[in-house]
Amino acid sequence: MSQARYDPQEIEPRWQALWADEKTWEVDNRPDADSGSSSYVLEMLPYPSGEPHIGHLKVYSVGDAVAHFQRRNGRRVLHPMGYDAFGLPAENHAIKTGQHPRASTEEAIAEFQRQFRRWGISIDWSRELATCDPAYYRWTQWIFNQLLAAGLAYQREAVVKWCPQDQTVLANEQVVDGRCERCGAEVEARQLNQWFLRITDYADRLLDDLETVEWPEHVKTMQRNWIGRSEGAEVVFRCEELGIDYPVFTTRPDTLFGATFFVMAPEHPDVERLAEGSGNEEEVRAYVNRALTEQGAMRESAEREKTGVFLGRHVTNPVNGEEIPVYVADYVLMEYGTGAIMAVPAHDERDYAFAQAFDLPVRRVIEGENPEGDADGLPYTGDGALTASAPEFDGKPNREAFGEIVTWLEDNGKGHASVNYRLRDWLVSRQRYWGCPIPVVHCPQCGTVPVPDEQLPVLLPDIEDYAPKGQSPLAAAEEWVATECPQCGGPARRETDTMDTFVDSSWYFLRYCDALNEGAAWDPAVLREWMPVDQYIGGVEHAILHLLYARFFVKALKDLGHLDADEPFARLFTQGMITRDGAKMSKSRGNVVSPREIVERYGADTARAYILFIGPPDQDADWSDEGLEGVHRFLGRLWRLSAEVAAGPVEGNGSPEADAALRRKTAWAIGKVTADMDRRFAFNTAIAAVMELVNEVSRLRDEAGPSAQREALEAAASICFPFAPHACADAYQLLTGRRVWEEPWPEADLSLLEADTYELVCQVNGKLRDRVSAPSSADDAELEALALAAPNVVAHLDGREPRKVIVVPGKLVNIVV
């Protein structure tokens, strides 16, 4: 008989064409459908540049397996696709080549789309979107207007982080170790008038609602740390010489009596005023100037020597009336708290280092666990009883004194309980071209005026020169900038900043639900059907930025009445990276695996199944060409056996033992794959189970009958379909004439797994000595008797009397002598 050959290059395009023609993966909106019948599976929005890389192949291999599994289990699955298409790479490319960012972006999108289709991912293409499409960013602008009207978007003059390389300001989240997260250039401080979104209003809800989502614990921890909620008190220190009150934030009001000096940030607006007339002006001015130019990585390091200058003034500690000296030092940050601190060197490491450097007094006010060393053991940051404070507090545990001192402050008008956050408002202005225009007009008469919704979108104009010049290139488009005020009709000028592209990607998952709606961003009733996303999949690199912003948008939009969900993503899965030779793939290393080449050579099924087989998908994994070959051989064997068996008799029995063994293996494999998909994302062990089943068919090819072999291969094709859809659809059709994706997920026949006998493990003193066949119905006593009679057990007992016998029915017997 002729050898059927597995030919993915013939099989895969054939099924892809059918799925495209029949729009198999499109799903309609049924707002009345009961929840639970639908499922929203989403991978993070890709940024189209060049062509898809191996990380894309992984995220869609995982997502598509989930989507298929959900569909086969009776759910209507929303699984859409789009592109995060605004952004700097396309713009930088335009500066270099003169090619319009729109043109290069469209080319990249076309290539991404072509390859995604070639991968055979089950996408509802009718909902495809690109964030640079006016039909999309019209609604980005509408959301901005909503936030503006609600007071959640505002403009403010502020010292911001400026990237000299990318020529734009950055959000705090986009600055890592004082460097631009994108390009690595050291950021500078600039005073600019910028647009912010009031994410800090949502700090507590963003924190609390983490409890309600099924996310990896480390991602939740990262978000908690980023929000950085601290409970403490605001305490007022008065400068009697100038008659000004200076509030500070502290998390340790219990150490208030230990404050021996006071420190202000170099950026604090009152520094110069305080130094004036103190005789120290020159030194202070020099220090402040140096600190301000020394922003970035240099300044924000805990290792650094403490520096500072005495301001020549004093403030009064409200609890004991003590006058303490005021310093300016760069270890105090203007952005956090009030930009000034009370320093308690005995109980704070930083204050202690500063006190050492400037020879300032250190007063211990909390007893340590080991009170014998009074000079040593400082700074002491642990708990203990108060001392050297005030008669009414001394001797009390510091946690108790915490509240009592706050109460005293409140009663005496010197302070109050307070909560501070590390989280800052989200700076969304960007001085770049290829982004969503901020829909605002500046009018000399009416001030800042939003462009009315009915005039949206504010279209991004075409320009000649993309090079940034310290302000947005849009500012040069004079005929675009000059406009009329929507309010008074007089001459006015457009806002020339564009939005951070993270704004675009903070709501795309909402648009997918109602992507074709031309009259609104979405219909809230439609969102009720799909939101929140049931399973979100992407890289852990977005643990803070994208995921925090998207959560904020959903909460804000809920408050504005546009949707019901509290959280965008009910479940999150973060996939690990694929490396090669133990290192991240990069062009400079020359260790890049091209998905296109892999698919051309082995087919999409092999590439996808291999990526899932390589190891647990949440872990990093190293690419191996040989491993890929192994999976290719497996798919070939599955397909070839199916073709051979399909061409043979429809029914017939083989030996009863072989038929039973094959049917048992089939039931086992169905159960194993189902459990691995249900329980966790254990695709690697699921695929291994299918391999075992296929190996079993191969082994029993001559002994088992056609019926059992067909059942086994049908099951194999059916449960392997989520990982290798084309080969399995083809094999299933050869065997049954039916479409596997229209079949329900198979159920394992559990009765087949109940065997009459099993292999009983016999141990002596915990060591494996023999195995005997035991009836499933045997009770403990019978099992013990069987084990004691096992030949090798008898040999090892060597006449000794068992002291104790442990029987684990269904497993083993352990005899202790």
Which 424-453 residues touch RNA, going by CB under 7 A? none
Binding mask 383-422 for RNA (x = CB under 7 A): -------------------------------------x-x
Q: Which is nearer to RNA, 141 or 255 (CB)?
A: 255
Work out how close the CB of 724 gets to RNA at its nearest, in angstroms, rounded to a whole number.
14
The correct pick among 326, 621, 662, 735 for binding RNA (CB under 7 A) is 621
Contact stretch for RNA (CB under 7 A) within 40-48, 381-389, 555-563, 789-797:
789-797
Number of Cβ atoms within 10 Å of the Cβ of 632: 20
The correct pick among 626, 702, 756, 801 for binding RNA (CB under 7 A) is 626
Own/partner contacts of 282-289, CB < 8 Å, gap of 24 or more, are 283/309, 284/309, 284/311, 284/328, 287/328, 288/328
- Report the side by side order of strands in the sheet with 168-170: 168-170, 153-163, 188-197, 426-427
Q: What Rg do the C-alpha atoms of the chain give, in angstroms?
A: 34
Binding mask 588-617 for RNA (x = CB under 7 A): -------------x-----------xxxx-
Percent of residues in the chain assigned helix, strand, coil, to nearest 5: 40, 20, 40
Work out how close the CB of 426 gets to RNA at its nearest, in angstroms, rounded to a whole number.
15
- The yes or no reply on residue 763 touching RNA (CB under 7 A) is yes
Instruction: Sort strands 340-343 and 261-264 into parallel, antiparallel or unpaired.
Output: antiparallel
- The yes or no reply on residue 684 touching RNA (CB under 7 A) is yes
Q: Which is nearer to RNA, 138 or 306 (CB)?
A: 306
Q: Running DSSP on this structure, what letter comes out for residue 130?
A: E
The correct pick among 282, 410, 629, 754 for binding RNA (CB under 7 A) is 629
Collapsing DSSP to helix, strand or coil, 582 comes out as coil
Number of Cβ atoms within 10 Å of the Cβ of 345: 26
# residues contacting RNA (CB under 7 A): 89
- The yes or no reply on residue 341 touching RNA (CB under 7 A) is yes
Torsion over CA: 124, 125, 126, 132 (sign): positive
- The yes or no reply on residue 583 touching RNA (CB under 7 A) is no
Query: Exposed, middle or buried, 137 (CB in 10 Å: 0-12/13-18/19+)?
Result: buried
- The yes or no reply on residue 795 touching RNA (CB under 7 A) is yes
Contact stretch for RNA (CB under 7 A) within 21-29, 43-51, 346-354, 433-441:
346-354
In angstroms, the CA 628 to CA 63 distance is 20
- The yes or no reply on residue 217 touching RNA (CB under 7 A) is yes
Q: Which of 686, 479, 671, 515 is nearest to 125 (CA)?
A: 515
In angstroms, the CA 591 to CA 584 distance is 8
Q: Which of 515, 617, 524 is nearest to 562 (CA)?
A: 524
Instruction: Sort strands 804-808 and 812-816 into parallel, antiparallel or unpaired.
Output: antiparallel
Q: Which is nearer to RNA, 564 or 759 (CB)?
A: 759
Q: Which is nearer to RNA, 222 or 449 (CB)?
A: 222
- Strand-pairing partners, residue 760, are 772
Work out how close the CB of 60 gets to RNA at its nearest, in angstroms, rounded to a whole number.
20
CB 681 within 8 A of CB 632: no
The correct pick among 101, 232, 368, 532 for binding RNA (CB under 7 A) is 232
Q: Which is nearer to RNA, 189 or 222 (CB)?
A: 222
Number of Cβ atoms within 10 Å of the Cβ of 255: 28
Q: What part of residues 233-292 is at the interface with RNA (CB under 7 A)? A: 248-252, 265
Q: The tokens of 752 are what? A: 């087949």
Q: Which is nearer to RNA, 94 or 815 (CB)?
A: 815
Work out how close the CB of 267 gets to RNA at its nearest, in angstroms, rounded to a whole number.
10
The correct pick among 630, 648, 656, 744 for binding RNA (CB under 7 A) is 630
The correct pick among 185, 446, 794, 812 for binding RNA (CB under 7 A) is 812
Q: Which is nearer to RNA, 268 or 663 (CB)?
A: 268
In angstroms, the CA 783 to CA 372 distance is 65
- The yes or no reply on residue 574 touching RNA (CB under 7 A) is no
The correct pick among 463, 592, 675, 797 for binding RNA (CB under 7 A) is 675
The correct pick among 95, 185, 192, 333 for binding RNA (CB under 7 A) is 333
CA 756 to chain centre: 49
Q: What part of residues 162-191 is at the interface with RNA (CB under 7 A)? A: 176-177
Q: What part of residues 15-44 is at the interface with RNA (CB under 7 A)? A: none
- The yes or no reply on residue 699 touching RNA (CB under 7 A) is yes
The correct pick among 767, 777, 798, 801 for binding RNA (CB under 7 A) is 767
Q: Which is nearer to RNA, 475 or 689 (CB)?
A: 689
Q: What part of residues 711-740 is at the interface with RNA (CB under 7 A)? A: none
- Cα–Cα separations (whole angstroms), residue 43 to 36, 63, 68, 109, 530: 20, 6, 14, 16, 15
The correct pick among 23, 114, 218, 738 for binding RNA (CB under 7 A) is 218
CA angle 613, 617, 622 (to 5 degrees): 70
Contact stretch for RNA (CB under 7 A) within 56-64, 110-118, 326-334, 743-751:
326-334
Q: What part of residues 506-565 is at the interface with RNA (CB under 7 A)? A: 540, 544
CB 710 within 8 A of CB 660: no
- The yes or no reply on residue 674 touching RNA (CB under 7 A) is no
- The yes or no reply on residue 587 touching RNA (CB under 7 A) is no
Work out how close the CB of 684 gets to RNA at its nearest, in angstroms, rounded to a whole number.
5
Work out how close the CB of 576 gets to RNA at its nearest, in angstroms, rounded to a whole number.
8
In angstroms, the CA 742 to CA 71 distance is 9
- The yes or no reply on residue 96 touching RNA (CB under 7 A) is no
Q: Which of 363, 507, 501 is nearest to 434 (CA)?
A: 501
Work out how close the CB of 545 gets to RNA at its nearest, in angstroms, rounded to a whole number.
10
CB 247 within 8 A of CB 234: yes
The correct pick among 97, 407, 412, 695 for binding RNA (CB under 7 A) is 695
